Structure 1
């Protein structure tokens, strides 16, 4: 049974349902109820989902806290939800989310985020994160690992994909990419995603790529290091050099970092580049650091389908590579610090994956609400105190 089979509104005041609530019901209308059709259902699926989403936006981290939040807001929730048996118990929340098909919930999430996003000239960073306390020793299951897609300009997590316990991140990436509209956008992935088939899929879907290069591609890596060593060395006048450069200086917290970026599209004769679809440039980032009186130099390499022949190209590539790390700082770190994801012990069935998606939904909506200029944690508190502000967060269009 799905939402469309049940009247989600309170029987006493259907005309007073806030537009923001109607908006959310629209996207989650086709989520399938995992409970047996003839089983006794004291609480509708829409009530369970809605209370979970609202409670998470307001800072509830687990099923007990979500139940407590619902109890504290029961009178308000009854204005637009039919709750004849009150607020579901934490056991009910946990049981339903453990059974809920992640794909069904994810389709609703992707539909909503796709409606919010304005893609084109976007940088999409793909990266994975382990939810450490989701391991279930009783069932012999390790913690789940989820790969997410972050759209920098839109400031949205667009989709997530759980890595199969018997597989790894490489096999999850193609399935995550298939969910995304890559036309006119640049995809960035760490060295795990530096694979020929990944590059081909991105190009086939109309996108561009910047992939981190390490020793897991030994021939290409060695050729890249040798090429930049030669390009930066002394040359005779008759040698044709194709090399773009950019430099940025950052400082703060007792640390000064100067990032120098070189790129080249002069790949003729580099045999290891020939099998990579769409490959147009190699990139080297050199970051000397001065920390506590000590000098350090780090060199990192990438391959890209973007041009890399001029200083302007180098500036663009520098920005794209730096933007990739936003997924660590603006998604993974925030999920752990503001939403306590790493310490969350939800683990039964599909509940860890499903609740991880709800947290990303809450993160997206909280970040898009910009009328209150405070941090995310402060927004969560205000949403818990002020129903009107909570509805404003929910009504993102």
Structure 2
């Protein structure tokens, strides 16, 4: 992914529809949004945190915000974000991402789900919110997100545009894959995304895919496993085979990753041609050895893919997929305290999840400070000039 010239984000939120009735508008919506984004960047995790941040930074905020009635209360922040339409906020997020970045050929886009564990509300029989995110692994940017249907799972969040938000009136959220410009990219998904409709959509968007298989997927998993056995027994005669081996050492252990790929296998794996552009199958075998002990573990995972006889690209796609866990979900949990967030009312959890993604992207793009996201959040809270630098990325 190539980053385009820097553009400030303030202009985009002027388009956001204000859900409040006129007589309740003591504070401008753009002021509420701007204070919240700044506060989340600087370490705020709750509505009270955001109010305290606003009051501490009042003189600084007053330089570029109107603040006709001062800093809103934490109740006001909570009420406004519970009413805002997450679909509209998502559209603005997508516009901003598209304005600052463009894909390069072979960009790996990892798609995975995450549960906001404390967003449930027992009093309203509301389960924890689940979000599906798309992650550009090269630059470490969240490209977009969708809310999972409360009665479903990740499968419907990817191909089905009718996703619901927990409130009296359900919203139709944008189709996560359709809103992304994926031409020339490689989309990676865990086994939950191994669906014919998803593969069809990726292919129609001129992208490749690498998708994990699991044993509970029955026939497909067995056909892939058996074909590798058949190839091995025949010493790979009649098969197009490629292989690749990587050895890593660190964190008190050694890991050997062995990748193998069989190409041009669609007729044997999918004789009815139900999986579009299925060109290859592959596996990765992980051998882990704990240093100084006899402990070893061996694990194998199988995949289907549209890639054709390119083992290094396959290996890179498999490896890079886990960046969304390590560089996105883990940071949101540990450094943004997302799992512990008690923001629960109506649309507020979904809207705050989007703003956390926005804050994470802004902090990741700021390259002058060579520290982690947590330290950047602290510095942004302490140093207003640095906060401005983050906002202008």
- Displacement of 1:234 in angstroms is 5.2
Q: Which residue of 1 aligns with 2:311?
A: 314
- Displacement of 1:293 in angstroms is 1.4
Larger-gyration structure (1/2): 1
Asked if 1 retains the 8 angstrom alpha-carbon contact of 2:94 and 2:144, the reply is yes
Q: Which residue of 2 aligns with 1:92?
A: 76
Q: Which residue of 1 aligns with 2:200?
A: 200
| Structure 1 pair 267–67 and aligned structure 2 pair: CA distance change class (3 A) | same
Deviations 1:252-273 (A, max 9, x none): 1221110000001141641536
| Structure 1 pair 278–68 and aligned structure 2 pair: CA distance change class (3 A) | same
Q: Distance in 2 between matches of 1:173 and 1:265?
A: 27
Q: What are the within-5 Å matches in structure 2 for residues 324-335 of structure 1?
A: 324-335=321-332
Q: Which residue of 2 aligns with 1:288?
A: 287
Q: Does 1:101 align with 2:85?
A: yes
Q: Equivalent residue of 1:243, what SS?
A: strand
TM-score between both structures, scaled by the size of structure 2: 0.91
Deviations 1:230-268 (A, max 9, x none): 2233539xx323110000111112211100000011416
Q: Which residue of 1 aligns with 2:241?
A: 243
- Displacement of 1:83 in angstroms is 1.1
How many residues in Structure 1 have an aligned counterpart in Structure 2? 369
Q: Distance in 2 between matches of 1:149 and 1:176?
A: 8
Q: What are the within-5 Å matches in structure 2 for residues 34-113 of structure 1?
A: 34-36=19-21, 38-113=22-97
Q: Does 1:364 align with 2:355?
A: no
Q: Which residue of 1 aligns with 2:126?
A: 141
**Worse-matched range after superposition: 381-390 or 329-338:** 381-390
Deviations 1:340-366 (A, max 9, x none): 000000000100000011011000000
Asked if 1 retains the 8 angstrom alpha-carbon contact of 2:266 and 2:279, the reply is no
Deviations 1:70-108 (A, max 9, x none): 100000101111112110000000000000000111111
Q: Which 5+ residue runs of structure 1 have no aligned equivalent?
A: 1-19
Q: Does 1:32 align with 2:20?
A: no
Q: Distance in 2 between matches of 1:347 and 1:300?
A: 37
Q: Distance in 1 between matches of 2:270 and 2:176?
A: 27
Q: Which residue of 2 aligns with 1:390?
A: 387
Q: Which residue of 2 aligns with 1:219?
A: 219
Q: Does 1:179 align with 2:179?
A: yes
Q: Distance in 2 between matches of 1:187 and 1:176?
A: 12
**Worse-matched range after superposition: 141-150 or 213-222:** 213-222
| Structure 1 pair 81–235 and aligned structure 2 pair: CA distance change class (3 A) | closer
TM-score between both structures, scaled by the size of structure 1: 0.90
Q: Equivalent residue of 1:176, what SS?
A: coil
Q: Which residue of 2 aligns with 1:263?
A: 261
- Displacement of 1:45 in angstroms is 0.3
Asked if 1 retains the 8 angstrom alpha-carbon contact of 2:209 and 2:306, the reply is yes
Q: Equivalent residue of 2:24, what SS?
A: coil
| Structure 1 pair 372–197 and aligned structure 2 pair: CA distance change class (3 A) | same
Asked if 2 retains the 8 angstrom alpha-carbon contact of 1:117 and 1:156, the reply is no
Q: Which residue of 1 aligns with 2:100?
A: 116
